[in-house]
Structure 1
Amino acid sequence: MGVTVKGLSAAAAAEMIAPGLDTYAPTFFSPGEWAFVLAATDRLIPAEGRGPGALETNVPVFIDQQLASDLGSEIYLEGPFPANPPPTMGYQIPFTPQQIYRTAIKAVNAWCQEKHRDNFAVLDAPVQNDVLKKLQSGEVDFRAYGEDILKSKQFFGELLGHTKQGYLADPIYGGNKGMKAWIAIGFPGARASYVEWVTQHNVKYPLGPVSVSGQRG
């Protein structure tokens, strides 16, 4: 049972406090970049799924705030950078996350203009899905648009990873608005103690999630 204050659940109160996408002013993204991120995350976690979508949970806000912070600009960038490193080598791109988004979104929109005569954000959803699949498979060649280092599949991996993080992270980081994603999957969040539940096997946990900030769902 969720906690209520004057008839309003804490999850509902948290959603009221969180910024709405229609009024949020991006800190890092330009208007064109913001339109891309809104459209792309909406296709990666669409609202028509079994749980809330990326836009319902403020995933774009999470990405914008993370890129605007030190996490977007401060990262170890000492080479060498292997051209085709194995996945076990981790981050092997001589770009900060900020540079990845700025460079890639410009290239993706140029590719969409060439192939579909419009930017990604205004294409129909099925076409957007196809573009994202081509990014994932590396079929969109950024070299044709002046980028010789960053590959489309590298950008897709970064975008998908940040979308997942924004969907499932604690709301204090800007995403998971109203803890909707946690509620959908039954995740209890940052509760301090589970001592009374240690011996209760095969019993569904009945309490809603709790944010690091103390908000309760």
Structure 2
Amino acid sequence: MVDPYATARELIQRTGTARSRDMVRAGVARAQLSRLVASGDLLRLSRGIYTLPDLAPAEGREGLLVIAERLATPRLCLLSALSLHGLTTQAPFEVWIAIGNKDRAPRIDWPPLRVVRMSEKTLGAGLEPLPIGHVTLRVTGVAKTVVDCFKYRNLVGLDVAIEALREALGAGLTTMDELWMYARLCRVARLMRPYLEALA
């Protein structure tokens, strides 16, 4: 007979999360999953996605585990990246992800997503690994995030972009050379020039 807790724990420990359908395939009944959640042995992150209480991510990062489980190649950007790099005091209630111009926008029930379309040329630029529990996501690095804030200033606000630029340079998290490189790649060098020159 299958021990539902041992089976669920074994599946979850491999990647940090497990889907209900995978646990059902392994012999755990849906009613048993509900009882494990009620008893506190499992933590339900989102519909059909579970983790263990001792593997639960830091406050505010639960949505990132769900994103990692549900999306094939999540790329965190803009306000989510700013928050992860410590460049803003605001915690966005949406998870900001970048997709290609022709990609289909993902549809999930939780967490709420803000989808930003980028060209293939800029989509993969400046991505860094971000370990969250047992999984690794990709997030735009500091320089690319700051430049993206200028490029998508109509979405995040020019004041957010300027604050991110000041914070990143002031904390030594990026260099002028990196910022210029991404500014040229994203075609916002002319827009950013006066701000970069003022802080040089």
TM-score for both structures, normalised by structure 2: 0.26
Q: Which has the higher strand share?
A: 2
Higher relative contact order (CA 8 A, sep 6+): 1
